[in-house]
Structure 1
């Protein structure tokens, strides 16, 4: 992957890993567009990374995804990279939370339906531009779930599976389908309570970029590779370890 002269759309790019991606990709000479449902967070993001282009969009809503796609087609038709990064999590007890189903609907729409739909909406446009890529952001939790994330694990595991199938189905088209599996990263996601093993967003994105430069289709960042092997050879131990953090 060339790190210059790309036009990149990052969903959920107003904070955390998405914002760090925007910062690093902008610094290396790319046009970066970030979307978020919060105009206030996007304003703050522009102050941190002055070169980015922003668009307010709640990607959990089908109409807003379609509006985003039309806006991209009309204003940035040279787009060649889509990074499906946006995600939400509900840390709840499924049985005790009276709104657990409603929360699952929102989480599935954001974490799974949105990347599937945006990939479909933008696929034709991506494919007419040089070196097109769809990059789906998942997590080591696709291998070993955390017990306090009843829906997040499931949505990311489903996105992991979808990404593998999409890569196979598009193997004869001029587009690369990439999955980046992140470990625990110290971002606002953890609301100030990140585990001690968390790595910085800068380190995580640096490793992601090294994988992209190497042309990898699946990039296991940090200790995700170790978690993968543990899940295969000692699944019970892996589950206990993840849920003790």
Structure 2
């Protein structure tokens, strides 16, 4: 697909990869819409990109997903691209954290159930417009888990599986189903401590756009390709290498 002349909604669009996507896509598209949980981040995004439209909401809550759908339907009915980008992570020890189950629920709701729910809610809106697409952001960790994340790997692996099934079941639908798997990217998501192998958000998003516009449905950005191959050839070595970084 061509990422221009669209109306695009990006979840988690107020910082990091989402904001970089908004900045790149606003140049060639009719409208870029974003949503996020934090009003201050959304306002800063608007100051940086005055053209964007935003709605403050928490997509981990079903009612807020419906409110987001209604906002788009009423005010931006020509929306034809949904980018499921929002995600959260906890770096915890499963056995030592007394609140770990609450954190698991938060990650599952945000990282997995929200994209599933939004894909269902937005499909009728997207289908009414030309060149509809659902682009879901995952990670190379769907192939090899990082042990500092008790739930993040699992939520993204489940999302990867869901997208594969969705793509198969949408063979009669006009909606393009695309997955983008990112490597480590230097964004505020790492809370000031990105791994040495992290690439810039500009490089990551530029690679993504290039590959999506080539028509690829499962995009492996940067070293994700290498991680995928290594996980197939030598899974134990891949696990050790990734978790020694």
Instruction: Say whether the fold is shared (TM-score over 0.5).
Output: yes
* CA distance in structure 2 between the partners assigned to 1:153 and 1:8 by the alignment: 27
Q: Which residue of 2 aligns with 1:162?
A: 162
Shift of 1:39: 0.8
* 8 Å Cα contact 1:3/1:30 also seen in 2: no
Deviations 1:27-66 (A, max 9, x none): 1233100000111100001112221111101000010111
* 8 Å Cα contact 2:7/2:29 also seen in 1: no
* 8 Å Cα contact 2:17/2:205 also seen in 1: yes
Structure 1 segments, 4+ long, off by >3 Å, are none
Q: Which residue of 1 aligns with 2:171?
A: 171
SS of equivalent residue, structure 2 residue 29: coil
Shift of 1:2: 2.4
Q: Which residue of 1 aligns with 2:243?
A: 243
Shift of 1:210: 0.4
Q: Which residue of 2 aligns with 1:180?
A: 180
Matched positions, count: 245
Once superposed, what is the RMSD of the aligned Cα atoms? 0.7
Q: Which residue of 1 aligns with 2:78?
A: 78
Task: Indicate whether 1:115 and 2:128 are aligned.
Answer: no
Deviations 1:9-37 (A, max 9, x none): 00000000000000000012331000001
Shift of 1:125: 1.1
Q: Which residue of 1 aligns with 2:11?
A: 11
Moved more, 23-32 or 74-83: 23-32
* 8 Å Cα contact 2:73/2:125 also seen in 1: yes
* CA distance in structure 2 between the partners assigned to 1:8 and 1:29 by the alignment: 8
Shift of 1:218: 0.5
Deviations 1:161-207 (A, max 9, x none): 00000000001111110000000000001111111111000000000
SS of equivalent residue, structure 1 residue 93: coil
* 8 Å Cα contact 1:142/1:153 also seen in 2: yes
- With structure 2 as the length reference, what TM-score do the two structures score? 0.99
* CA distance in structure 2 between the partners assigned to 1:187 and 1:241 by the alignment: 22
Task: Please list every run of 5 or more consecutive structure 1 residues that lacks an aligned counterpart in the other structure.
Answer: none
Shift of 1:4: 2.1
Shift of 1:229: 0.6
* 8 Å Cα contact 1:126/1:133 also seen in 2: yes
Q: Which residue of 2 aligns with 1:190?
A: 190
Q: Which residue of 2 aligns with 1:62?
A: 62
* CA distance in structure 1 between the partners assigned to 2:76 and 2:233 by the alignment: 46
* 8 Å Cα contact 2:81/2:135 also seen in 1: yes
Shift of 1:3: 2.8
